[in-house]
Chain A
């Protein structure tokens, strides 16, 4: 419980929110959906800044990028037609993978990135698409998803900075993709996540992005697996090789849900199947 929480603030602009953050130093937390903070125990937090009234819930496109507002609910991401087709619908699929409509309604894109548990669905998808995080503070920063996700949990607490937007290059719009989760039940946290995007040139794979999630503390790109795919006319043997390469040398986490060995095995199978499904889909659409 946040036993020292005394006040809520409802800024309507980003500068207003930043001023409140500044004033409370490290004693104010930013809240959007509230699904994580509502269950957090932290005596340091004295004020809560609700950032859902600052116009940060949007999905738009400019000349170079797809722009997603940080407080856009996952349900909106899952249901927006543009996202269901952009890059094979990867963002919409990842958002829809979050079970429970009530949670998808509350959870936001920004929140799922900032909190980023091993089983969070948005980080693997954003890594696959090389998303850029837009942070507004004293200076504005643009940070690649890869770098952002590896910073410690609650990194935004105690800093006068707010994640306002996620940008994805429109060059990826035509890629095919597949997002798959392996979990004990639909609502249980993922034991393994495979998020892949492929681009084909008729028969040959000309671009591959492979991301594994749920098996280590943070999702990660697998360049070794991508090398096994690019430039080849893909078939079952390539998917097997790429899945093996993706898992090679990864320090898989063991917990009460799954042993190291079990997780390694299902992750490899999941990756192989996901790559195959993505490729079939890519070929199907291209022809």
Chain B
């Protein structure tokens, strides 16, 4: 069957098998940012946004995304122009092995899109579906908080941070 959706801002039309899950479809098409973790809805490494809402793409039929707008980590920022969340995650040392980070960033993006000035419990709640076995969550929490502050002040960094992100890319 044909699936038509908006993927990271582009209209796409893809052939899918009926039972195909969104995560499989994305990875088969080169979107390797969304990770396959537990396949059980526990870890959140596969998190993508569907119509702006964070969902586990491993428990979401590709067919359910028909006519909807899907955003993956690839649609968040680029090496040259990282999203403010990506800048602060690197700055705050919120990334260690990095496996959980794409999912974590998508969850954080949903939060900041809906609530640009979140309270501490709201940040914790927004990340409650993402497991990280390296960091202990504190740095990620701080990174989201700092992003919100910077975005509110309009002080997101420009070119400078592009280099930082590129460095983060190499170390992976």
Q: Which residues of A contact B (CB under 8 A)?
A: 1-8, 10, 31, 34-35, 37-39, 48, 50, 52-53, 73, 75, 99-103, 105-106, 186-187
Contacts and interface: CB of A to CB of B under 8 A. Distances in A.
B43 to A, nearest CB: 9
A103 B64 contact: no
30 contacts: A1-B19, A5-B18, A5-B19, A6-B18, A7-B1, A7-B18, A8-B1, A8-B66, A10-B67, A31-B64, A35-B60, A38-B60, A38-B61, A39-B59, A48-B61, A50-B63, A50-B66, A99-B129, A100-B41, A100-B44, A100-B128, A101-B110, A101-B126, A102-B41, A102-B44, A102-B54, A102-B129, A105-B53, A105-B55, A106-B56
A41 B44 CA distance: 22
Nearest to A1: B19
B147 interface: no
A8 B126 CA distance: 31
Contact of A6 (B1, B41, B126, B128): B1
B11 interface: no
Given A1-B19, A100-B41, A10 B66 contact: yes
Given A7-B1, A35-B41, A101 B107 contact: yes
Contacts of B21: 38
A35 B56 CA distance: 9
Contacts of A39: 39-40, 59
A101 B19 contact: no
B72 interface: no
B97 to A, nearest CB: 20
A28 to B, nearest CB: 12
A9 to B, nearest CB: 9
Interface string B21-42: 1000000000000000001111
Interface residues of B, number: 29
B1 A34 contact: no
Nearest to B41: A103
Given A6-B1, A101-B126, A106 B60 contact: yes
B119 to A, nearest CB: 13
A48 B54 contact: no
A7 B61 CA distance: 11
Interface string B60-75: 1101101100000000
Nearest to A78: B125
A8 B1 CA distance: 8
B161 interface: no
B47 interface: yes
Q: Which 4 A-B pairs have the closest CB atoms?
A: A100-B129, A5-B18, A8-B63, A102-B129
A73 B55 CA distance: 11
B128 A101 contact: yes
Contacts of B42: 100, 187
B171 to A, nearest CB: 27
Contacts of A3: 19
Contacts of A34: 59-61, 64
B59 A8 contact: no
Nearest to B55: A106
